[in-house]
Amino acid sequence: MKLKRKRVVKKNGKPKGVQKVLIVAKQNKVGIAAAKKVERLLKNKVKEIHVDNSTALKMRRRGATIRKFRGDLVITLGGDGTFLWTAHKVNVPILPVKLEGQGFLCSCNLKQFTDNLDKILKKDYEIVERMRLNCSKVTKGRLAKYMKSIHGDYPLALNEIAFARKRPSKILAIEYKIDDVVFDMIGDGVMFSTPSGSTAYHSSAGGAMIDPSLSVISIVPLYPFFSKVKPKIIPHDKKVEVTVKNGDCALVIDGHGGDYVKRNTKFVIETTKPVKVVKIVEQNFYEKIRKGLMA
């Protein structure tokens, strides 16, 4: 994880603040109410305020497409799910504000956002670059390559990429390769996680919680059936080749994107461009674990 102080300066030496904002809210009463409040706070302080289409529908106003947003800042209001869903769609810095739930990936709560609004609008904040994983299907033949060019690759994973059995009554056979060394796994599946995702599904499956300052990929077998394959932590610059050998497989990325995978389908998993997360208050990773996950 890289930290850097971001302060954009005009030619005349004066700082250039936030001019164009997109608000993305959780689709419940709490989220919509927070979106209205944040919009009021930003009114007359920034040039453009946009709201994503789903939120805008409930606010009875015109919305904006998240993927097409090219502004200064995206503000998500909800929890980790809202943040992860948005992170799949933009490369603009995101400020995730916690309203409810665990919100382990969120930078602040609504009160902290309000208290630090002037600093945020001046871009007087740090940007944390959180590692992401890319999952690419290995295609062969003209038709397969053509279909991939139309539909594109899967969403980038901020938390995890899981290959899991589609049917509860059937086990799954997975092969993954690191540095040309093959590991076979039979069971419920296998998960590849970033440090950000190590406190979520990855931890529930028996993986270690990883300090987000480390650039590593964690591999955790999901309930292996008489398998000696153990969890592994590998350097971020390794590429992992994955093959679904047998069974009905569901590919799930951060709980949102995914696919149903046929046998003998091959994939490559590797690190890719990080997501940019705005940080406005100091947060200690170990303190968050102690208070949020062990209380």
Q: What is the pLDDT of residues 138-163, one digit of tens each?
A: 887 655 554 454 445 788 999 999 99
Residues 176-197, buried b or exposed e (16+ Cβ, 10 A)?
beeeeeebebbbbbbbbbbbbb
- Sort 30 into a burial class: Cβ within 10 Å, 0-12 / 13-18 / 19+: middle
Q: Judge whether 118 counts as a catalytic residue.
A: no
Q: Where in the chain is the domain with CATH 3.40.50.10330?
A: 17-122
Q: Where in the chain is the domain with CATH 2.60.200.30?
A: 132-272
Stated pTM of the model: 0.85
Of the options 1.10.10.410, 3.30.980.10, 3.40.50.2300, 3.40.50.10330, the CATH number for the domain spanning 17-122:
3.40.50.10330
List, for residues 35-63, the tens digit of each pLDDT value.
999 999 999 999 999 999 999 999 998 99
Fold entry, domain 132-272: Tumour Suppressor Smad4 (2.60.200)
CB 94 within 8 A of CB 85: no
Catalytic entry in 80, 118, 124, 188: 80
